[in-house]
Structure 1
Amino acid sequence: MQDEKKQLEVLLINYFRECYDAFPKGRIVPAESPDFMVKAPSKRLLGIELTRLHSAVSPDETQNRILQLSQELYERSDHHKLLVKVLFSEKHPIHAESELALSARLANSIRNAVKSRNERSFFNLNLESTQLPTGIEKLALIHHPQFEESVWESVNSAYPSPDIVKDIKVAIDKKEQKLPLYRRHHFDEYWLVISCDHIQNTRSFRKQNPIQDELFHSGFRRVFLFEILSGRVFELSE
């Protein structure tokens, strides 16, 4: 049985494969140093390392209470194990007297979204505000049959930090130090996938922090920033 960290990594790498059209065909095999290898039909081997963009933002207690209660209500009648990421709306403040009602509506929205989905298969869904109760702006839910414990988390709308370029460089540098260890496996390529919950404004992100290869020089063949909430993939080097 895989530990919780590895189960989450398996879920995320499958989600990344669904979202990245150029992901190579082949079988994904969990490993260590790097986290996964992909065995292509051509017998080429790809090593993929996952890491997370650091966030110093503290969780919101009200949002966490709503998610905890919503998860409890949902799991009374449904047994899909899910990674759920919820972006609460800044336009609709949540009052204490409405927490229970919002929790129930959120649980019901998720229940309806997954009711026709096969528990034995991987799937992911990205819901917008029109599909969600007032107070919720966006939601991502991902399921993998190997995922044994659900994780429901709020996404901070203020993320990422003003200096996201620096944060990305720090994430790359930490993994860059381990490349000699990864290369002992003699894979044909090594990729780095940096996940983050949410990028507040994609256009602003592109304009204020231009993604150019020279900004993110790396020994990895390809480096990606992967936004979990929307499933968007930004290639940082190629």
Structure 2
Amino acid sequence: MSGILDLLNSDLGKQIVSGVAGSTGNDSSKTSSVLTMALPLLMKGMERNAATPEGAAGLMNALNNKHDGSILNNLSGLFDGGVDETVKKDGAGILGHILGAKQSGVEQVIGQKSGLDASSVSNILKIAAPLVMGYLGKEKQSKDLSNSGGLTSLLGGMLGGNDTKSEQNFLEQILDSDGDGSVVDDVAGMLLGGSKNSSGSGIGGMIGGLFGK
């Protein structure tokens, strides 16, 4: 099964990157960098949420009733003249649900690595989130999934297509920090080769490998 990052390397993904960059006024290369970091995080967040029966039911309901993939059918129309505010509002709701209190910290960390400010990252993610949900909904339909078990498998497979043990560890760390309410502190330590995992081949080195830095 293709991983979520394979989407960005496809013709559809290139159209998404170009459209999101144009709609947010950001450089395409930096937008691509943001999405390369953010898409696995969003997918991992959905996988974690779907690990409970309630979370899986909620995600399945959203994919059945709202995010069926149709948003991907007319991307030129979506991006032409600027993305509608209702799409951005929907994206903000998706991000809040997936990332919760960790959202601002995640945006700041991604901003550090991409060279954009957190506000620009936030604008990119608000547009990207409904597209990710649409992509997931389209994959769900193509595989005719009707239960939460199949959905969990789909999410795992989409992560697994581009996943390594190091990437998996990073995703777990950034989404499930030490509970102090600050993702920024925890991940900043990782980026600087910090306290909890400081060896050159540990988190610090792994971050470099994951983001090509």
TM range (shorter): 0.3 to 0.5
TM-score under structure 2 normalisation? 0.32
TM, length-normalised to structure 1: 0.30
Q: Higher Cα Rg: structure 1 or 2? A: 1
